[in-house]
Chains A and B, each alone.
Chain A
Amino acid sequence: MFETVLVANRGEIAVRVIRTLQRLGIKAVAVHSAADEHALHVRLADEAVLLGPAPAAESYLNVPAVLEAAKVSGAQAVHPGYGFLSENAAFARDVVGAGLAWIGPPPEAIEVMGDKVRARQAVLPWGVPVGAGTADPVTDLAGAQAAADVLGFPLMVKAAAGGGGIGMSVVTSAEELTRAFETAQTRATRFFGSPEILLERYVQPARHVEVQVLGLPGPRVVALGERDCSVQRRHQKVLEESPAPLLDPALRERMFRSAENAALAVGYLGAGTVEFLVDPVAGEYLFLEMNTRLQVEHPVTELVTGLDLVEQQLLIAAGEPVGFDPDAPPLPVGHAVEFRVYAEDPVRFLPGPGTITTWTEPAGEGIRVDSGYAAGDTVTPYYDPLLAKLCAHGPDRPTALARLRAAAAAFEVAGPRCNLPLLPELLDNPEFAAGHYDTQLISRMR
């Protein structure tokens, strides 16, 4: 196993990775921007290296600075977390080129799955169901209109290289397509450096269900259960749970096989997530994309399987056997749910940075809190609004939800805006309570 690992991230995920490193006796090196000089992940790490000024482009996305930090700290491996450089194939290659271990999949797998059009083409021969959509990327409005004539409305317009809901929208007419295409292209170019757009038939009502996979040498891929992530605002997740409520067991098994095949199609290694849209009425599912990194909501899977996924990532990257029998992966025990505590208001979901004056985390049976902040810390406008992930585990869904409700009520946060009041409202929603909801749930509530 490695002796020193650099964590190329910030906030709750850096803290979470550092905790596993330290539990395993591995020296944890943090990196940070000038704005994060006193951040929790810096305080916890065994060593910290300044990357540059506050804007992410000059710090957490600054490849030469991260590589230099790895060199000066004597790190043997780099854990990228999620976001930032985690899905940057060129960075992964640079890490390997510098003689370090990359705690992630092969760069080629990142490249193929990072392009939504190539990803669809890669998984199709492996029998993974893919929705009707553009076979090749569209780069101009005429191409988009021609595609719409074939596919019909409603359509989802997405950046081919995108993620995080940025530039994504649903259109129901040619007029809407014109506007959405221009917006998507502007944002795709600005955020992802590529003007390529993908159009897909929009499925509604749909649930967003994803499968956690681990790619092992062999090649071999193990599905470690699913997560329902249908509770979203602006195409971004707010609450995730596992197992997915009311999911037909036969359908679940088919999704597991498809997820394993999607990963095998790109020679996957390490932790990854295959996202599907599920049509609960027709009992069908479609491949959306594969996230080639640790997912934000991975704690939900950890709670039901008892595995530490970061530890499995480290073992795989170090060429050691994983901590369970791949022929008999752990079956989920009970039910787990995660609520993302964001620095945003609970009604319009507008962000509100600020200095944290009160921060009291809840505790109790089945409760886990992964946070990136503590009292006295400042939440700046430079990075994403995730403050913490509040998770609850219980023998069944009602118990897990009751524990989550009690924990949210006990979670005291003051200073920045905070979306915690959304949680009891969600739990009281009859559709959510029944487990019968789709990605439009929050839109209907607002």
Chain B
Amino acid sequence: MEHIRAEMVANVWKVVVHEGDQVKVGDTLVILESMKMEIPVVSEVAGKVDKIAVHEGDVVQEGDLIADVDD
């Protein structure tokens, strides 16, 4: 299981994938927004999205879990 975490304080702008979706390396899971910039959170592994831990509009802190991808 790959735990994907937020790299910075940000606002969750868009959740791109759903739990159960198959993703490839580099696929965008969630788009964060911080300091007027959109920051895509990408999967570092190929596999099935096991969990999306955030909702659109949430504020995440550095290190917060964004998603789990089951490789």
Question: In chain B, residues 9-35, which have Cβ atoms closer than 8 Å to a Cβ of chain A?
Answer: 9-11, 33-35
Partner among A164, A381, A383 whose Cβ is within 8 Å of the Cβ of B11: A381
Interface residue stretch chosen among A18-26, A348-356, A428-436: A348-356
Across the interface, which residues of B come within 8 angstroms of A140, CB to CB?
Answer: none
Is there a chain B Cβ closer than 8 Å to A343's Cβ?
yes
Assess whether B9 is in contact with A354, with CB atoms less than 8 Å apart: yes
Give the distance to chain B from A355, nearest Cβ to Cβ, in Å.
11
Tell me which residues across on chain B come within 8 A of A166, comparing CB atoms: 36
Across the interface, which residues of A come within 8 angstroms of B10, CB to CB? 381
Chain B residues closer than 8 Å to A353, beta-carbon distance:
8-9, 34-35
Most A CB contacts (10 A, CB to CB) among B33, B35, B37 go to B35
| 7 further interface pairs, Cβ-Cβ under 8 Å (given A164-B36, A381-B8) | A351-B8, A351-B34, A381-B11, A381-B35, A382-B35, A383-B35, A385-B37
Residues of A within 8 A of B33 (CB): 381
Smallest CB separation, B66 vs chain A (Å): 14
- In the complex, how many angstroms separate the beta carbon of A320 from the nearest chain B beta carbon? 36
A384 sits at the interface (CB 8 A): yes
Query: What is the CB-to-nearest-CB distance from B31 to chain A, in angstroms, rounded to a whole number?
Result: 11
* Chain A residues closer than 8 Å to B8, beta-carbon distance: 350-353, 381, 417
Shortest Cβ distance from B13 into chain A, in angstroms? Answer: 9
Taking a contact as CB atoms under 8 Å apart, the answer to whether B9 and A384 are in contact is: no
A residues near B45, Cβ cutoff 8 Å: none
| Chain A 13-38 interface 0/1 with B at a Cβ cutoff of 8 Å (1 = within) | 00000000000000000000000000
Kindly list chain A residues whose C-beta atoms are within 8 Å of the C-beta of B39. Answer: 350-351
Query: Which residues of chain B come closer than 8 Å to A352, judged between CB atoms?
Result: 7-9, 62
User: Nearest residue in A to B32 (C-beta to C-beta)?
Assistant: A381
Q: Is the CB of A350 within 8 A of B9?
A: no
Q: Which of B7, B11, B35, B62 contacts A384 (CB 8 A)?
A: B35
Known: A381-B35, A384-B35, A384-B36. A350 touches B11 (CB 8 A): no
Interface residue ranges of B27-53 to A (CB < 8 Å)? 33-37, 39
Interfacial chain B residues near A350, Cβ < 8 Å:
7-8, 37, 39
A354 partner residues in chain B, CB cutoff 8 A: 9
Do A343 and B9 touch (CB < 8 A)?
A: no
Q: How far is the CA of A381 from the CA of B9 in the complex (A)?
A: 7
**Distance A344 CA – B62 CA, assembled complex (angstroms):** 14
Q: Tell me the complex Cα distance, A166–B38, Å.
A: 10
Tell me the complex Cα distance, A59–B53, Å: 30
Q: Bound complex: CA of A351 vs CA of B7, how far in Å?
A: 9
Interface pairs A-B: 5 shortest CB-CB: A351-B35, A385-B35, A381-B34, A352-B8, A351-B34
- Decide if A383 touches B36 in the complex (CB within 8 Å): yes
Q: Give A1 to B32 CA distance when docked, in angstroms.
A: 46
Instruction: Kindly identify, within residues 332 to 377 of chain A, every residue whose CB is under 8 Å from any CB belonging to chain B.
Output: 343-344, 350-354
Of A164, A166, A353, which is in contact with the most chain B CB atoms at under 10 Å from its CB?
A353
Residue of A nearest to B34 (CB): A381
State in angstroms the CA–CA spacing of A258 and B7 once bound together. Answer: 45
Bound CA–CA A350/B9 (angstroms): 11
Q: Smallest Cβ distance from A209 to chain B, in angstroms?
A: 25
A343 proximity list for chain B (CB < 8 A): 35
Expressed in whole angstroms, the Cα–Cα distance for A382 and B11 within the complex equals: 9
Q: Report the separation of the CA atoms of residues A417 and B10 in the bound assembly, to the nearest whole angstrom.
A: 14
* A74 CA / B53 CA spacing, docked (Å): 49
The CA-CA distance from A350 to B37 in the complex, in Å, is 9
- Note all chain A residues with C-beta closer than 8 A to B62: 352
The distance in angstroms between the C-alpha atoms of A384 and B8, with both chains bound, is 14
Point out the residues of chain A lying under 8 angstroms from B11, CB to CB.
381
Residues of chain B with a CB closer than 8 A to A344's CB: 35
A-B contacts, 16 listed (Cβ < 8 Å): A164-B36, A343-B35, A351-B8, A351-B34, A351-B35, A351-B39, A352-B9, A353-B8, A353-B34, A381-B33, A381-B34, A381-B59, A382-B35, A384-B36, A385-B35, A385-B36
Nearest chain-A residue to B36 (Cβ)? A384
Cα distance, A25 to B59, chains bound together (Å): 42
- Tell me the complex Cα distance, A381–B62, Å: 12
B59 CB, min distance to chain A CBs, angstroms: 8
A415 CB, nearest partner CB in chain B, Å: 12
Enumerate A284-331 residues with CB–CB distance to B below 8 Å: none
